[in-house]
Amino acid sequence: MPQSSINLGVVDYAILLVYFVFVLGIGFALKRTMKGSKDFFLSGQSIPAWVTGLAFLSANLGAQEVIGMAASGAKYGIMTSHFYWVGAIPAMVFLAIFMMPFYYGSKARSVPEYLKLRFDEKTRGFNAISFAAMTIFSSGISLHALAKLLETLVHWDYWTCIAVSALIVLVYIFLGGLTSAIYNEVLQFFMIVMGFAPLVYLGLRDVGGWSALKEKLIPVATSQGYAAGTWTHSWAQMGSPIENPMGIGWFGMVMGLGFVLSFGYWCTDFLVVQRAMAADSMSAARRTPLIAAVPKMLFPALVILPGMIAIALNHQTGGTLLPPAADGTPDYNMVIPTLLAKYLPTGLLGIGFTALMASFMSGMAGNVTAFNTVWTYDIYQSYIAPGKSDQHYLWMGRWATVVGILVSVGAAFLASQFNNIMDMLQLVFGFVNAPLFATFLLGMFWKRATGHGAFFGLLGGTLAAVIFHGMALTKGCVPGIKGGWLHPTFLYQSEMGQNFWMAIVAWTACFLLTIVISLATVRTKSDAELKGLVYSLTPKPESENEPWFKRPAIIGILVLLGAGALNIIFR
Amino acid sequence: MNFDLRLPLGILFSIYGLILVATGATASPAMINQSLGINMNLCWGIFQLLFGATMLGLALRKK
């Protein structure tokens, strides 16, 4: 029988308890450093680069990454690495070299505030409100996913899980603000590495090493009608969407995932950018995404490889490793829990299990810290109560944390009751997010882009995404929430393919509209006002007097070469 | 001033290292079988202990 539950021993509970004590202890120890709002929301810009770098990586290492990437590893094999070596890495390098100088160098305290300085109030308002709503719902989804997983795995009560994890996150952010979140994210990074490395080692040893794994993945591919090497080659089957399980061709993948979505996420999402903005100097802020990029490049070994191992073993044993999902296919989301239960004896099991819980909790904490900053600076201070004392905003930030977490719990409740609401919300967020990078790109590199251009370009891009969604459908789906509700004109092999193309369409619409509207409207910001906000009007940041290993351009090139090499090795 | 993060990191992983080493030293044959005949608790515990000690050393040396 497939194992779908974990038996924790006394030692494992002790390990989990020690972790909670440390997480809360960090919050208490940082309490006295929180003197003003800048300490609470931006860590007083005092954190060294290696800490912000690991936190930058960890903030994204939530439930979706750990459980989801392992699931994709089983479902698609090593093609999942495109999310890393084509998606994340180039975007992180671009952020470090070209965009960080504007975020850190301008007086902006958040990404929406940059939009206010660069464009105008309405562009900021649109971005701030949609971002605040999105982060808080993501935090709720993460909470729900954690509680559900624990309910199945260790049979804890759903609402007790929600209450305990929400309370722990609440306490440590309430006390220590962003610094607390960042420190705990670094702790979580090491937990994940310590917990998953033995898992991968034992799994790989069990299948008989890499070459035996490749051998065993051949029947996995052929039994589903794909070419023999599909699961172990990232590029070989990318010629057309019907050749690979992801259902996407190389162009849609490179443009949709590699360019539009990844740059949109890594370069503009305040959740990650906030970590870099907390660094102690411009140079450290620019190195943050680069320091994150090095482990990020290697993470497929920890999160994708387990999925490949699990599916190989599952196939070999006639489908008895992974528990079946509702539709009869293996439940890919159970890859990590199944392997934890299979290989790790009590003791190490505690470390792996704690790592899993830590990633869910810090995923939630990341969303909450981004939310309380955007809420306090971009919504509360801008529209509700301007001109109050700094202590007042610090107070607001603390209470925004409480309210944010309560709303997250509410969102988790919604998710547990109505599955469709969450699908619907994620769809709407997708519409809003897809065009965003065009606005930032034009804002940072074209001084002629105007506020009206940016705002209506964004609206137009979002609208384009909505219309495209009404006209596109994945093969085998009914028109409705999956798309095609206007008229299914474009058919896709997979929902992922449909999503990537929606992003391309939305981005292009936003890009063109912003240019046209900007040219048709009058500039409202002079060159002097745009200094520090636009590339051509900003002095280049000095890095010549730093040693070579601290210069962003040089590390950036090395990181790109590394990602290039990995793409070639696993092509 | 914020405290040095390497301090809690060092303490945490030293504790975990000790717990794992102790668990590994008293491991039953069933536990060793589960991890493919290797005493993973012991090996990985020693590694975590070393990592924790290194972090602690770095944090304390600076003071």
Model confidence pLDDT, tens digit, residues A437-448: 999 999 999 999
> What per-residue confidence (pLDDT) applies to B1?
54
> What per-residue confidence (pLDDT) applies to A540?
79
CA triplet A65, A69, A73: central angle to 5 degrees? 170
Report the alpha-carbon distance of residue A435 to residue A415 in Å, rounded. Answer: 26
β-bridge partners, A63 = none
- Using the beta-carbon criterion (under 8 Å), do A202 and B35 form an inter-chain contact? yes
> What per-residue confidence (pLDDT) applies to A3?
53
> What per-residue confidence (pLDDT) applies to A1?
38
| DSSP 8-state class, residue B2 | P
Report the alpha-carbon distance of residue A181 to residue A87 in Å, rounded. Answer: 25
Number of neighbours of residue B1 by Cβ within 10 angstroms: 6
- Using the beta-carbon criterion (under 8 Å), do A18 and B15 form an inter-chain contact? yes
Output B2 or A311, whichever has higher pLDDT.
Answer: A311
Report the alpha-carbon distance of residue A139 to residue A97 in Å, rounded. Answer: 30
Mutate to test the interface with A, among B14, B23, B26, B38 (most CBs of A within 10 A): B23
Taking CA–CA distances from A13, the nearest residue in chain B reads: B19
Element (H, E) at A561: helix A552-569
Confidence of residue A328 (pLDDT cuts 50, 70, 90): confident
Model confidence pLDDT, tens digit, residues A470-499: 999 998 888 888 888 888 888 898 888 999
Mean pLDDT of A274-287: 92
Mutate to test the interface with A, among B34, B36, B55 (most CBs of A within 10 A): B34
Residues of B in contact with A343 (CB under 8 A): 34-36
Model confidence pLDDT, tens digit, residues A508-529: 999 999 999 999 999 988 888 8
A302 has a pLDDT exceeding 60:
yes
- Using the beta-carbon criterion (under 8 Å), do A344 and B34 form an inter-chain contact? yes
Query: Is the CB of residue A279 less than 8 Å from the CB of residue A46?
Result: no
Report the alpha-carbon distance of residue A411 to residue A417 in Å, rounded. Answer: 10
Percent of chain A predicted with pLDDT > 90: 67
Say if residue A524 is exposed, middle or buried (CB neighbours under 10 Å; 0-12, 13-18, 19+): exposed
Mutate to test the interface with B, among A182, A184, A194 (most CBs of B within 10 A): A194
CA distance, residue B7 to nearest chain A CA (Å): 11
User: What is the count of residue pairs from A and B with beta carbons less than 8 Å apart?
Assistant: 84
Model confidence pLDDT, tens digit, residues B12-42: 999 999 999 999 999 888 889 888 989 999 9
CA distance, residue A480 to nearest chain B CA (Å): 48
Token pair in block for residue A101 = 């100088």
Report the alpha-carbon distance of residue A339 to residue A305 in Å, rounded. Answer: 12
- CA atoms in the 13 A half-sphere facing the CB of A29: 18
Model confidence pLDDT, tens digit, residues A65-98: 888 899 999 999 999 999 999 999 999 999 999 9
> What per-residue confidence (pLDDT) applies to B54?
95
Report the alpha-carbon distance of residue A292 to residue A304 in Å, rounded. Answer: 18
Mean pLDDT of A47-57: 94
- Using the beta-carbon criterion (under 8 Å), do B40 and A205 form an inter-chain contact? no
Token pair in block for residue A46 = 């005092």
Question: Comparing C-alpha atoms, which of A135, A126, A131, A112 is closest to residue A443?
Answer: A112
Element (H, E) at A492: strand A490-492
A21 touches chain B (CB under 8 A): no
Report the alpha-carbon distance of residue A492 to residue A499 in Å, rounded. Answer: 9
A529 touches chain B (CB under 8 A): no
Model confidence pLDDT, tens digit, residues A372-404: 999 999 999 999 999 999 999 999 999 999 999
A2 has a pLDDT exceeding 50:
no
Percent of chain A predicted with pLDDT > 70: 99
Residues of B in contact with A25 (CB under 8 A): 8
Interface residue ranges in chain B relative to chain A, Cβ cutoff 8 Å: 1-3, 5, 8-9, 11-13, 15-16, 19-20, 23-24, 27, 31-32, 34-36, 38, 40-41, 44-45, 48, 51
Interhelix angle A121-154/A348-373, nearest 10 degrees: 160
- Computed over every residue of chain A, the mean pLDDT equals 91
Residues of A in contact with B48 (CB under 8 A): 194
Rounded to two decimals, the ipTM of the complex is 0.95
A76 touches chain B (CB under 8 A): no
- What is the DSSP code string of A95-120? IIIIIHHHHHHSS-SSHHHHHHHHS-
Query: Is the CB of residue A142 less than 8 Å from the CB of residue A358?
Result: no
> What per-residue confidence (pLDDT) applies to B61?
85
Report the alpha-carbon distance of residue A489 to residue A470 in Å, rounded. Answer: 9
A141 has a pLDDT exceeding 90:
no
Report the alpha-carbon distance of residue A529 to residue A117 in Å, rounded. Answer: 8
| DSSP 8-state class, residue A345 | P
Residues of B in contact with A14 (CB under 8 A): 19
Model confidence pLDDT, tens digit, residues A219-266: 999 999 899 989 999 999 998 899 999 989 999 999 999 999 999 999
Model confidence pLDDT, tens digit, residues A405-427: 999 999 999 888 887 777 787 78
B63 has a pLDDT exceeding 80:
no
